Amino acid sequence: MSVIITGATRGIGAGLADAYRQQGASVFGTGRNGADVHLDASNPDAFGALQDALGDQPVDLLVCNAGVYLDKGQSLDTGYNADMWAHSFAVNVTGVFMTIQTLLPNIRAAKAGKIAIISSQMASQEHAPGGSYIYRASKAAVLNLGRNLAQDLKPEGIAVGIYHPGWVRTDMGGGAADIGVDEAVRGLVAEFRDLSITTTGCFRTWDGRDHAL
């Protein structure tokens, strides 16, 4: 089994990489430092290096995990500047699309390849408590992206799932979060395993529940 994970050098991405290696999978991780290939997801010119590194290797599972959360604690009156919006969407949305677009030939080569997109409960329009406008908007956008990709790729037998990984104790989630990386990873690995054409387009939690859109 060949697994590609973006943002694989820390947090959930690093945990997923370790878990799949322990299962004997061939794991290829991207990130800014210490990864198999350096990938700045906000830079459109960086994706050529990713394709060069993979060549024509089939990819059974692509996990789009890389993301940023830049607008914690921003003020509605004075915060959320334009550069913060642009960079967040470049990584959290455009970067996901370009990763998938770049590796689509590799996923097709696997014959039954899968794509897992890490979004967040903060993507939900039904649960909208306010604040974190940029992060919420970007995660809602990538949820929409994933659900539309699921429709376009379904005839090819490629399943796409979108996931809330839980509120996880990482640099992004903070020390007060609900669960540890190991718990999130165990749940996500199980969800990715169960992803199929019959469930493509799903928005699910790490612990196996359908999430409100």
How does pLDDT run along the chain (213 residues), one tens digit per residue? 999 999 999 999 999 999 999 999 999 999 887 778 888 989 988 899 999 999 999 999 999 999 999 999 999 999 999 999 999 999 999 999 999 999 999 999 999 999 999 999 999 998 889 999 999 999 999 999 999 999 999 999 999 999 999 777 766 666 666 778 889 999 999 999 999 999 999 999 999 999 999
Nearest CA-CA partner of 211 in 161, 160, 164, 146:
164
Q: What fold characterizes domain 2-205?
A: Rossmann fold (3.40.50)
**pTM recorded for the entire structure:** 0.94
2 burial (CB, 10 Å; 0-12 / 13-18 / 19+) is buried
Taking each helix axis as running N to C, give the angle between helix 95-109 and helix 47-54, from 0 to 180 degrees, rounded to the nearest 10: 20
Residue pair 73/126 in contact by the 8 Å Cβ criterion: no
Distance CA 180, CA 57 (A): 33
Can you read off the two tokens belonging to residue 74?
Answer: 């921003």
